[in-house]
Amino acid sequence: MRNVPALLRRELNACFASVLGYVVLMFFLLVMGVTFGVIVNFLNRGPTQLTAMKIMFSMFWLPSLVVVPMITMRLLAEEKRAGTLEMLMTAPVTDFEVVFAKWLGAVVLYTLMWALTMLYVLILRHFSGGTAALDLGPIATGYIGVLIIGQFLISIGVLASSMTKNQVAAALMSFALVFLVIIVLNWLGFLFQGGPLSKIIRSVSAFEHMDDFSRGILDLRPIVLYLSGTVWALFVATRVVGSRKWR
């Protein structure tokens, strides 16, 4: 893993050297900003059990569906298309180092985006006069949840990007997979409500996990689930990158 720092730096540079990084950032901040505005407006109408940040975190899927494909589609697909993968892989670097650095770069970017939403917390704090409405514990675990789920979705995006030379195809593939993992699983949960299957589905549903996280519950099970999912996806992506060697 000696080469990861150099590779990571290159990833982050590439992201901000291209217009794409800024466009994605702009998209994210626009969606989150509008969402935040709507939430605050909603909460102003009357007393409720919900807190602003809890609703905010429950909207995590909205930017994920677009942001994850956008920041991962380029990663390996573009290297393959431009042929730079050959230069990378003929340097003394392992396949896994490359895949890992690409994933890490996207995770750093994703984290940075969400970190900007911490401004909302400051805004809430300022205008609520620092009352009990702002419980920092659940907010912290909420951010942990967003990161844990996000890094897994990004690993899926990396996997999608490893499978094609075409960025658009990679983006659509990871969109479909993220959609499957977040939306379809949740929908299945509704479909089998009360049945024997519902317990299983609920235990792997990102919405359920996020709900727990934003309540301040730090459960080890979803964390293990997402981390092992990431390990699996990065392992498969490494094999796909290495498939030029046995195909």
Partner 1 sequence: MIKVENLTKRYAGLTALNNVSFEVNRGEIVGFLGPNGAGKSTTMRILTGFIPASSGRAEVAGLDVFEDSLEVRRHIGYMAENNPLYVDMRVNEYLKFRAKLKGVPRADRKDRIQEVLQMCGLTDVRNRVIGHLSKGYRQRVGLADALLAEPDLLVLDEPTIGLDPVQIRQVRELIKDLGKRHTILLSSHILPEVEMTCNRVIIIHRGRILASDTPDNLMKTLHAGGLVNVEVRGPGSEVQAKLRAVEGVNSIAVKVGDDGYARVTVQPKAGADPREGIYKAVAGSGWTLRELSRTRTTLEDIFVQITRDEDEAEEERREQRRSLLR
Listed residue (169, 173, 153, 164) closest to 243, CA to CA: 164
Alpha-carbon Rg for the chain, nearest whole angstrom, is: 19
Smallest separation (angstroms) from partner 1 to the CB of 218 = 37
Task: Count CA atoms within 13 Å of residue 30 on its CB side.
Answer: 8
Smallest separation (angstroms) from partner 1 to the CB of 86 = 5
Task: Compare residues 86 and 219 and give the one whose CB is closer to partner 1.
Answer: 86
Smallest separation (angstroms) from partner 1 to the CB of 94 = 7
Q: Which residues contact 149 (CB under 8 A, 6 or more apart)?
A: 60, 64, 206, 209, 210, 226
Residues 158/103, Cβ–Cβ less than 8 Å? yes
Residues in contact with partner 1 by CB under 8 A are 2-3, 5-7, 9-10, 13-14, 17-18, 82-84, 86-94, 244-246
Task: Compare residues 19 and 220 and give the one whose CB is closer to partner 1.
Answer: 19
Task: Compare residues 44 and 90 and give the one whose CB is closer to partner 1.
Answer: 90
Task: Compare residues 7 and 159 and give the one whose CB is closer to partner 1.
Answer: 7
Tell me the C-alpha distance between 204 and 209, whole Å. 8
Q: What angle do CA 31, 52, 219 make, to 5 degrees?
A: 95
Task: Compare residues 40 and 89 and give the one whose CB is closer to partner 1.
Answer: 89
Smallest separation (angstroms) from partner 1 to the CB of 5 = 8
Tell me the C-alpha distance between 144 and 139, whole Å. 9
Residue 133 has a CB neighbour count (10 Å cut-off) of 13
Smallest separation (angstroms) from partner 1 to the CB of 209 = 37
